[in-house]
Amino acid sequence: MLFNSLDFAVFLPVVFVLYWLLKKNLKYQNILVLLASYFFYGWWDWRFLSLIVFSTIVDFTIGLALDKTENFRKRKYLLWGSLFANLGILGVFKYFNFFIDNVSSAFSFFGTDWSMSSLNIILPVGISFYTFQTLSYTIDVYKRKLEPTKNIITFAAFVSFFPQLVAGPIERATNLLPQFKKNRHFNYEEATDGIRQILWGLFKKMVIADNCALYANYIFENSASLSGSTQLLGALFFTFQIYGDFSGYSDIAIGTARLFGFNLMQNFAFPYFSRDIAEFWRRWHISLSTWFRDYLYIPLGGSRGGTSMKIRNTFFIFVVSGFWHGASWTFIIWGALNAAYFLPLLLSGKNRQNMDIVAKGKLFPAAKEVLKIVVTFSLTVLAWIFFRVEDTPHAIAIIGDIFSKSIFTIPYYPGLGLAKSTFILLFLFIVIEWFGREHQFAIQNLSKVRSLTLRWVSYSFLAFLIGMYMFTDKSQFIYFDF
């Protein structure tokens, strides 16, 4: 079920009302969340529910077993069992064909014929997200950071919690699981702020992302016949598409969870206002970056060792992050490119120099900050080209055109005239994001406006913009594919 669908517009109020009718009974509330989550997921394809159920049973059982034994070796085996089961499913469904194709290519490169046909495998929606979420539970129980839960309903509800099941934020068991164990009370302020966040998320997804996608898709698909400046415009459209799409989804997810009395972690913190790449990665897909930091980077030694260890760990973490997004070399290169951007900052000890939000407490940034933002943004746009294309030669061709003379021509493609409203909306979007950058989401500060009329007019106008400018063909969220 998509957040931007009529199905969800019916599903959410029904579940919301039933949930709070059960407010005196935590057990029934959790059962309702579980059933609603399975229904939400099964709406897409009920057959793949079995994978979630399998992951749930495996990690619940391993969690209990870890609690019962102090034997170091046995605990290690149990952890490996969880890793094997979860990553095994992910490997089969997401990476099997990539592996087969590349092994086959490697054999033919050395003149040997090794052919094994790839399989027609459907990628289950959200598999990378819930797999990482359940893994965080087992790893935390193994590290004794978390007491294992003895209630299968609570655990299953945690694994499948519908607001963040298919595209995150990837919640830590230490944050989300305890929330399922204690009584939740309806909080008016939280609920209204949740609605506000959902509204902003819908605007980002349905207006900004989907409209940018229309133009980005055209330009990327016809790049060979377009000038470098037009291709750069396409990359810019994609840059806003992916941000609007993914951060929009996160806002809707977090806002929805707040309606049910849950607090999920912030997943995006205005990343395009970052002054360097290190800051960008502290603000982009925070739940994944911190997951990799805590469960991979730090166990590998992090940045404590010598220079070579720092370089190795940084590259490893970024490449794995790229590979997490998709089974393709383009994602791996995207990860490696970001590592290359990040390393100079790490090696010079400047990776933590921009910890606060830019121009905090001020209306506008200083000229130096503007320059830093522009440089960081430009580097990000270039990297997104690898993320968007089907294969590496296409990305290289686009970058080649962008750095050619044709960058000095006026961008043009058939249909550019139709993009006028999108340019205006993008400008409005950037302005709102800028003035809301010190909050969890851009329009959160509207709650501080004293006049109720002004507040409601603002929300209504946003709703109108969604109705007038939403993309009307069916659209999916990009991150469903990861």
Which residues have a catalytic role annotated? 325
Least separation in angstroms between CB 466 and another protein: 9
Least separation in angstroms between CB 476 and another protein: 17
- Segment interacting with another protein, rule: CB under 8 A, options 78-86, 217-225, 267-275, 413-421: 413-421
What does the alpha-carbon distance between residue 15 and residue 388 come to, in Å, rounded to a whole number? 36
Q: Which is nearer to another protein, 191 or 430 (CB)?
A: 191
Q: Which is nearer to another protein, 273 or 471 (CB)?
A: 471
3-state secondary structure of 62: helix
Least separation in angstroms between CB 322 and another protein: 35
Counting residues that bind another protein (by CB under 8 A) gives 24
Tokens of 36: 């609603």
Contact 79/59 with Cβ under 8 angstroms? no
Q: Which is nearer to another protein, 65 or 195 (CB)?
A: 195
Q: Could you write out the DSSP letters of every residue in 376-413?
A: HHHHHHHHHHHHHSSSHHHHHHHHHHHTSGGGGSPP--
Which of 103, 431, 468, 476 is the binder for another protein (CB under 8 A)?
Answer: 468
Confirm or reject binding of residue 470 to another protein (CB under 8 A): yes
Least separation in angstroms between CB 439 and another protein: 21
Q: Which is nearer to another protein, 93 or 469 (CB)?
A: 469
Determine the length of the chain: 482
Question: Footprint of another protein on residues 5-44 (CB under 8 A)?
Answer: 6, 20
- Give the orientation angle of helix 152-160 with respect to helix 26-45, to 10 degrees: 40
Binding-site string for another protein from residue 339 to residue 378, where x marks contact by CB under 8 A and - marks none? ----------------------------------------
Q: Which is nearer to another protein, 44 or 96 (CB)?
A: 44
Least separation in angstroms between CB 147 and another protein: 32
Which of 80, 114, 435, 464 is the binder for another protein (CB under 8 A)?
Answer: 464
Least separation in angstroms between CB 459 and another protein: 7
- Per the listing, tokens 């409005």 go with 428
Tokens of 222: 């016809």
**Cα-atom radius of gyration of the chain, to the nearest Å?**
23
Least separation in angstroms between CB 259 and another protein: 9
Q: Which is nearer to another protein, 1 or 195 (CB)?
A: 195
Nearest to 300 by CA among 308, 130, 326: 308
What does the alpha-carbon distance between residue 322 and residue 384 come to, in Å, rounded to a whole number? 11
3-state secondary structure of 300: coil
What does the alpha-carbon distance between residue 161 and residue 481 come to, in Å, rounded to a whole number? 19
Least separation in angstroms between CB 226 and another protein: 22
What does the alpha-carbon distance between residue 208 and residue 478 come to, in Å, rounded to a whole number? 13
Q: Which is nearer to another protein, 296 or 465 (CB)?
A: 465
- Burial letters for 468-481: b for 16+ Cβ neighbours within 10 Å, e otherwise? ebbbeeebebbbbe
Question: Footprint of another protein on residues 415-454 (CB under 8 A)?
Answer: 417-418, 420-421, 424
Which of 46, 80, 114, 461 is the binder for another protein (CB under 8 A)?
Answer: 461
Contact 209/200 with Cβ under 8 angstroms? no
Q: Which is nearer to another protein, 108 or 421 (CB)?
A: 421
What does the alpha-carbon distance between residue 156 and residue 59 come to, in Å, rounded to a whole number? 10
Question: Footprint of another protein on residues 144-203 (CB under 8 A)?
Answer: 186, 188, 191-192, 195
- Bond before 124 cis per omega within 30 degrees: no
List of E strands, 95-175: none
Nearest to 383 by CA among 181, 207, 242: 242
Binding interface with another protein (CB under 8 A): 6, 20, 186, 188, 191-192, 195, 417-418, 420-421, 424, 456-457, 459-461, 463-464, 467-470, 472
